[in-house]
Amino acid sequence: MLLLGLTGSIATGKSTVSSILSSPPYSLPIIDADIIARKVVEPGTSGYNAICQHFFPTTPDLLLPPSEYDTAKFPKGAPLNRPALGRRVFGDSEERKQDRKVLNGIVHPAVRMEMYRQLVFCYLKGCWAVVLDVPLLFESSLDTICGIVLVVAVKDPAVQMRRLRERDPHLSAEDAENRVRSQGDVRVKARRAEFMEQEAGRGLVVWNDEGKEELKQALAKVMDTVRGKSPRWWAWLLLLCPPLAGLSGVWSYWRGMVVSRRWGEHELKERAKL
């Protein structure tokens, strides 16, 4: 089974690509980190309790007031006020970075466990491929377990900011910029995918500066390449021979670690030239 890592940055079109891949003619299962991240911090979960314990004393509006949610659907407590939590963790100051680190330390381990559970389920179902949709794929080092990484990117930063402000009009210009920065420069992610392709045939980029139809066409070409790299017969062979699947997974992970290390060395050399 091919693990196709899907990443990008906020407002670059990653969710649109995920939606296309989940529909015919691809019909691929999607493991969405954002959806899982919401699930693991629902009221009553250990993640929710840890967030409340750390942030509530200094963030009075951390939880939604009863007038803003259906109390019948949340009998275990008020849901998190995500805009308030976002203001607390997004930004470049040391305080914001530390808060973001604490939040990630609570959410990421729980998200990973749920991801792995869903991956095993997809493997047992005999899926040809599964999409791992993670905004911070590189930052969380999950690219190392992926057979191929697909980055959805835009070349023009203004396009990204415009789409974000149109999608979330409640965000101020400063809030929007902080959210973009928190997920890293998508053009750097695109360069990393291109580097992965050169080094090990593991990275692809879909540029999304135009409309949805152009995006669909670009994605179709990319998926033709993906099918060539990982044919369906290989997925069936891995399903019928679990030991081979295990060896293949170890080999893929090792290659991913090597390429990640080479990218780090490459970036250091590039910075040294400046």
pLDDT of residue 229: 92
Sheet with 30-32, side-by-side order of all strands: 30-32, 129-133, 2-7, 148-153, 203-207
Mean pLDDT of 236-259: 92
Separation of alpha carbons 54 and 12, rounded Å: 32
Instruction: Quick: pLDDT tens for 76-112.
Output: 999 999 999 988 998 888 998 899 999 999 998 999 9
Instruction: Quick: pLDDT tens for 223-243.
Output: 999 999 999 899 889 889 999
pLDDT of residue 265: 94
E strand map for 123-264:
129-133, 148-153, 203-207
Instruction: Quick: pLDDT tens for 3-36.
Output: 999 999 999 999 999 999 999 999 999 999 989 9
Question: 122: helix, coil or strand?
Answer: helix
pLDDT of residue 172: 84
Separation of alpha carbons 164 and 177, rounded Å: 9
Per-residue pLDDT band for 180 (boundaries 50, 70, 90) equals confident
Beta bridge pairs of residue 63: 80
End-to-end CA distance of the chain: 42
Q: Which CATH class is domain 1-29+128-274?
A: alpha beta
pLDDT of residue 90: 86
Instruction: Quick: pLDDT tens for 135-174.
Output: 889 988 999 999 999 999 999 988 999 999 889 888 888 8
CB neighbour burial string for 237-271, b if at least 16 within 10 angstroms, e if fewer: ebbeeeeebeebbeebeebbeebbeebeeeeeeee
Contact 167, 11 (CB under 8 A): yes
Q: How many helices (H) and strands (E) does the chain have?
A: 11, 5
Which tokens in the block code for residue 83?
């805009």
> Positive or negative, the Cα torsion across 129, 26, 7, 230?
positive
DSSP symbols for 77-97: -PPB-HHHHHHHH-SSSHHHH
Q: Where are the domains of the chain?
A: 1-29+128-274, 33-124
Contact 4, 28 (CB under 8 A): yes
Domains 1-29+128-274 and 33-124 in one fold = yes
Which tokens in the block code for residue 102?
């604490």
**Among 188, 207, 89, 171, residue whose Cα is nearest residue 162:** 171
Question: 13: helix, coil or strand?
Answer: coil
At the second CATH level, the architecture of 33-124 is 3-Layer(aba) Sandwich (3.40)
CB neighbour burial string for 144-170, b if at least 16 within 10 angstroms, e if fewer: bbbbbbbbbbbeeeebbbebbbeeeee
Per-residue pLDDT band for 274 (boundaries 50, 70, 90) equals low
Separation of alpha carbons 256 and 21, rounded Å: 23
Beta bridge pairs of residue 153: 207
Separation of alpha carbons 129 and 226, rounded Å: 10
User: pLDDT averaged over the chain?
Assistant: 92
E strand map for the chain:
2-7, 30-32, 129-133, 148-153, 203-207
Separation of alpha carbons 202 and 223, rounded Å: 13
